[in-house]
Structure 1
Amino acid sequence: MRTLTWAMNVSLDGYTAAPGDDLGWSVPSDELFAWWSERVAATGAALYGRRLWQTMNAHWPTADQQPGATPAHVAYAHRWRAMPKVVFSSTLGAVDGNARLVTGDAVAEITRLKAEDGGPLDVGGATLAAAAQRAGLVDEYVVVTHPVLVGGGTPFFASLDRWVVLDLVETRTFDGGIVMTRYRTRR
């Protein structure tokens, strides 16, 4: 069975995006960017909700061809394009690149993907991750906490019907006081 991880940059007050979908507070240092790039390289497939897909797909397919692209950005762009992606949306008509579109039951499809052979799965996008979380499908949470309070926006954790007990399995501190904590769901 594949592992499903929900990993995101999060403000100290618990938001993945500030009001207006502002992500300016979460620009990673070189060290953190390299860590995210290694995660992408190790991911068997990324599961995206529509908004996160549109944000990522607006930049990374050609990021390595932009003026001033750093070697780190070139490497990330190559890894991101190579990584299989599944996009969940009821409003998109098609996706491109190394992605396929799922318009039906997200929980059923994530359950099916987890049962397949293959590398680990990452889920991204607040609505999609919340559905996986409520269905008990998330095996690990990777919370990359930035030392900023944004006061509102898109919360990392959705409201739940029951408690989810977690075990801390890893911590790491990055430049600028950013702290990564990785938790495994206790089954």
Structure 2
Amino acid sequence: MRRLTFAMNVSLDGYVAGPDGDLDWSEPSDELFQWWSDRVGATELALYGRRLWEDMSSHWPTADQQPGATPKHREYARRWRAMPKVVFSSTTCPVDWNTRLVTGDAMSEIRRLKEEDGGPMDIGGATLAAAAMRAGLVDEYVLATTPVLVGGGTPFFATLDSWVHLDLVETRTFPGGVLMTRYTAHD
């Protein structure tokens, strides 16, 4: 059975994007960027909501071909294109780069994917991840917490119907005071 992880950069006050979708506060250090790249390289299947897919697919497919692309950015772009991806959207949107589109019941499909044999799955996109949290499908939470208060925006955690007990299994500090914490859910 596969494990599902929700992992994102988050502000100290709990947001993955500030007001108006602002992400300038979350610019990763080289070390943190490499850590994220290594996660992409180890992820067997990435699950995206439509908006995150649109953001990622507008940049990473050709990021390694852009003038001034660093070796780390070229590596990330190659890993991102190679990583199998599923985009969940109630509307049709173009997908490519080792990706398939699911327009039906996202939670049923995620349950089906979790029941398959295979390696780790990551889920991204606040709306999709919130639905998976409420459905009890997220096994692990990884927060790369940046020491900034953005005051509002898109929250990392969804409003839940019941408590989810977590165990802290890893911490790591990155330059700029970013603290990565990894938690697993338990019954």
Normalised to the residue count of structure 2, the TM-score between the two structures is 0.99
Q: Report what 1:90 is aligned to.
A: 90
Distance 1:103 1:179 in 2: 36
After superposition, the Cα gap between the structure-2 partners of 1:31 and 1:93, relative to the gap in structure 1 and judged at 3 Å, is closer
Distance 1:9 1:92 in 2: 28
Pair 1:99-2:99 in alignment: yes
SS in 2 for 1:54: helix
Distance 2:108 2:94 in 1: 20
SS in 1 for 2:67: coil
Q: Report what 1:132 is aligned to.
A: 132
Q: Report what 1:29 is aligned to.
A: 29
Distance 1:78 1:93 in 2: 22
SS in 2 for 1:185: strand
List runs of 5+ in structure 1 lacking aligned partners: none
Q: Report what 1:165 is aligned to.
A: 165
After superposition, the Cα gap between the structure-2 partners of 1:93 and 1:52, relative to the gap in structure 1 and judged at 3 Å, is closer
Distance 1:109 1:144 in 2: 27
SS in 2 for 1:183: strand
* RMSD (CA atoms): 0.6
**Contact 1:3/1:139 (8 A) holds in 2:** yes
Matches within 5 A, 1:12-161: 12-161=12-161
Distance 2:163 2:139 in 1: 14
Q: Report what 1:2 is aligned to.
A: 2
SS in 1 for 2:79: helix
> Identity over the aligned pairs, expressed in percent?
75
TM-aligned CA deviation for residue 44 of structure 1: 0.5
SS in 2 for 1:96: coil
Distance 1:100 1:3 in 2: 20
Kindly tell me the number of residue pairs found equivalent between the two proteins: 187
**Contact 1:50/1:92 (8 A) holds in 2:** no
SS in 2 for 1:59: coil
Deviations 1:152-179 (A, max 9, x none): 0000001000000000000000000000
Could you tell me which amino acid in structure 1 is paired with residue 83 of structure 2? M
**Contact 1:5/1:138 (8 A) holds in 2:** yes
TM-aligned CA deviation for residue 94 of structure 1: 3.1
Q: Report what 2:186 is aligned to.
A: 186
